[in-house]
Amino acid sequence: ATKQVDGKKQDVDGFANEMKSFIAKVEKRQVDADHEVRRLASGEGNIHETAMALEKADITVRLLLKGRDKIVQAYQEVMRMPL
């Protein structure tokens, strides 16, 4: 949705949509890693592809958590502001 602010259109859903998109990517990386582990366990996959998938999943989860921490920190700073 867009909102008119001082004569300019602003996308108010932009941040929420970006977060939803990133969370979907994190979930996909987790599913991909799980799939590679299952392939390796069944003898179809190889250790290199599995390790890469696991590392990608780990990095995206850590990035998501860092972002969450920054958002919480910003919220706490706003709440501490005097009125």
Q: Which tens digit of pLDDT belongs to each residue from 31-65?
A: 999 999 999 999 999 999 999 999 999 999 999 99
Residue 50, token pair as written in the block: 């599995």
pLDDT band at 83 (very low <50, low <70, confident <90, very high): confident
Q: How many CA atoms lie within 13 A of 37 on its CB side?
A: 9
Does position 14 have pLDDT exceeding 90, yes or no?
A: no
Give the global pTM. 0.75
% of the chain surpassing 90 pLDDT: 75
DSSP state of 79: H
CB 53 within 8 A of CB 30: no
